[in-house]
Structure 1
Amino acid sequence: MLPRETIATAQIPGGDTLTLVSHGRDFIIMLGRDELMGTRMQFSEEQLAELTLAELGKERPRVLIGGYGMGFTFRAALAAAGEGAEVVVAEVVPEILEWAEGPLAELTGETLADPRGQVVLCDVAALIDDANDGTCDKWDAILLDVDNGPDGIVRDGNQRLYSSTGLGKARDALRPGGILAVWSAAPDHKFTRRLKEAGFTVEERIVRARPNNKGPRHTIWFARKRNSASGDLE
């Protein structure tokens, strides 16, 4: 069996320690003793972007992604968005970008140099708030992959993203017909109900971690902004 080699560590603000390890030709980011993400199982994170943008069906979308990780969702969003799109990633761990440009440079490729994309070192909640107070334009899509799901919080304070108040802020930060997409390692029926109560029309899909229909089953919610008064899509 191939040994795992520790390459680097980083502290999540208000959270646990992240460890970047290599395992043969693969890379894995560990959260404590648990695998958070890795190069062998990236399909569901790519689907988070691909399915959202396909559902959105808009030219030149303005997309906000919560969490860079290994860049799977960011790269997939840029590939699917086309010319003229704007894709912004909010990342709270500076070392994640150092890894992307260092030991993971081959995986990263030219992504960080793409003029349509930008990685901002901040909490994704701050960029949602900026859209609500007029500091920046509203978003066509908000993609959240900052935790293991609404019931798998990685960082203290992220609970607010999945609360009724946080979902209301995400809804208000979206343009008419916009989509909030949330990745989770497991289903959560209470969260589905909370999305609906927050004024979204909700579709829940189960996506495998690998494109060959193998690996763990992950959940993605696609919540489209709805007119709270009529129940119609805005």
Structure 2
Amino acid sequence: MIPWETLDTATVPGGRETLRLKRRGTEFSIMLGANELMNSRLSGSEEALARLAIERLAAPAPRLLIGGLGLGFTLRACLPLLPPQARVTVAELVPAVIAWARGPLAVLHGDSLDDPRVTVLEADVAAAIRQAREGWDAILLDVDNGPEGLSRAGNDALYSAGGLAAARSALAPGGVLAVWSARPDRGFTRRLRAAGLAVEEVTVRAGTTRRGARHVIWLARKA
């Protein structure tokens, strides 16, 4: 078996552990300590996050905010589904992750970062939500492993009652907050409803086949 090779490491601002970018043949992985945050073999649920959110949009020129660049699967899945007048902003907290996207991970990202509809910000998505001047038609959060933050304590605030209230305020009328998670979380479902959002909870496959692990996507609409 081909051994894993560590290509680079990075510090997460405010985090407790180090990110490691690893490669084994054509497979890539981003690890946080002993936890695998993402793997290039498992793109199905990240792609579903994009598809399910966009299917629920009615705006002719939608504005999307994606929290977390990662391996780029959510961004890449968005672009073929959006019209030319759409705008997509990706907020990525870790500078190295953006550098990896144009370096060793360019094979995964393709030309998505050069799409004229796309803006990549080196920023905390929570700050982008709080500073919103115009309503987002969709906010897609693929941060940590979901509502249970792993990489930094600050991510917990995204999924708290206050964080969800801020996200609701940042959405345009009819806008959708879409949240990816590695596992179900009944408490988070209750917090979404308490924030005044109409909630759907969808279970999807982690990969692109009918087998393997399942992940959860919440789709919460602002009335």
SS at match of 1:179: strand
Look up the match of 2:48.
47
- Where in structure 2 are the equivalents of 1:170-189 lying within 5 Å? 170-189=167-186
Cα distance in 2 between the residues matched to 1:22 and 1:33: 16
Q: Is the 8 A contact 2:7 2:22 kept in 1?
A: yes
| Higher relative contact order, chain-length normalized (CA < 8 Å, sep 6+) | 2
Structure 2 alignment gaps of length 5 or more: none
Q: TM-score, normalised by structure 1?
A: 0.92
Cα distance in 2 between the residues matched to 1:59 and 1:8: 41
Look up the match of 1:230.
none
Q: TM-score, normalised by structure 2?
A: 0.96
Cα distance in 2 between the residues matched to 1:22 and 1:153: 22
Measured against aligned partners, the alpha-carbon deviations of 1:213-232 in whole angstroms (never above 9, x if no partner) come to: 2221100000001xxxxxxx
With 189-198 and 25-34 compared, the bigger mean Cα shift is at 25-34
With 117-126 and 104-113 compared, the bigger mean Cα shift is at 104-113
Shift of 1:67: 0.4
Cα distance in 1 between the residues matched to 2:172 and 2:33: 38
Cα distance in 1 between the residues matched to 2:92 and 2:158: 15
Shift of 1:59: 2.3
Which of 203, 206, 215 is equivalent to 1:209?
Answer: 206
Shift of 1:153: 3.3
What percentage of residue pairs aligned between the two structures are identical?
A: 56
Shift of 1:80: 1.3
Cα distance in 2 between the residues matched to 1:38 and 1:58: 32
Aligned residue pairs total 222
Shift of 1:152: 3.6
Supply the RMSD in Å over aligned alpha carbons.
1.1
**Letter of the aligned partner of 1:203 in structure 2?**
E
Shift of 1:12: 0.7
**Letter of the aligned partner of 2:161 in structure 1?**
S
